Amino acid sequence: MTTEFSLQGRRALITGANKGIGQAIAVGLARAGAHVVAAARTNCDETLARVRAAGGLAEFLQMDLSDPAQGAEILSRAGPLDILVNNAGIIRRADSVDYSEADWDAVMDVNLKAVFMLCQAFARQIFARQANNPDNGTTGRIVNIASLLSYQGGIRVPAYTASKHGVAGLTRILANEWTGRGINVNAVAPGYIATSNTEALRSDEGRNAEILSRIPAGRWGEPEDIAGAVTFLCSPAANYVSGAILNVDGGWLAR
């Protein structure tokens, strides 16, 4: 691996790393040389096994982001970090006229408030390390997982749409404040990815055909497609990239 894309010696926390996109990101970062901290509410045994099979280093950190205030405490247990990937998220579906306050709060807590709290705790950790050892060149990378619904409205997912618009805005403001202090902040916006969350759509012959007809690439994305983009944003190759939202959607938004 060329030095520009190496994460050797870097320590990365990935939330929601037990399956799907989060699992693929964990494996991808580990293959690039990072020591991975796989965080999730449930065990990450499969993720750890895949990382180790790829020759990487990984550990599990249990966390429940339904209580966003846990962010600082969670990061203190993760040890010194160089990379934070905010991947964990939930979705609740209902017509907007019927959408409950409880569902709104649950989605916003996990998808937006917890993202901010984790980013804040991560930045404080990086800045403290810089202050304690100003000559060591400590830097950090944050990658937030946004969505096509950071740009579009969607249907029957008002809280999810609002939260992902918020993730896009949060990414930009934190980049404005922190890039000059050594933390690059970016986001990746996945398109339609083949995970358990989209199994029902892929199983619906009509809906599947509608979706594929709009994707210029002509296929559903794979979790590994997102992992590659995240790995790039965490690497030295992206040293001058901050405040960007990288769409990984097979061309969906260009159509």
Instruction: Give me 245's structure tokens.
Output: 């939202």
**Integer angstrom CA distances of residue 16 from 13, 25, 39, 128, 215:** 10, 10, 6, 26, 26
The one-letter amino acid code at 156 reads: R
* Mean of per-residue pLDDT scores for the chain: 95
Q: What is the band of 1 on the pLDDT scale with cuts at 50, 70, 90?
A: low
Q: For residue 111, which of 153, 58, 70, 164 has the smallest C-alpha distance?
A: 164
* Residue 237, helix vs strand vs coil: helix
3-194+222-244: CATH number: 3.40.50.720
- Identify the active-site residue in 99, 151, 160, 240: 160
Q: What is the pTM of this model?
A: 0.96
Catalytic-residue membership of 151 = no
Give the start-to-end residue ranges of the domains of the chain.
Answer: 3-194+222-244
Question: Is residue 44 a contact partner of residue 219, using CB atoms and an 8 Å limit?
Answer: no
* Percentage above 70 pLDDT, the chain: 99
Q: At what angle do helices 223-234 and 20-31 cross, to 10 degrees?
A: 50
Q: What is the band of 106 on the pLDDT scale with cuts at 50, 70, 90?
A: very high
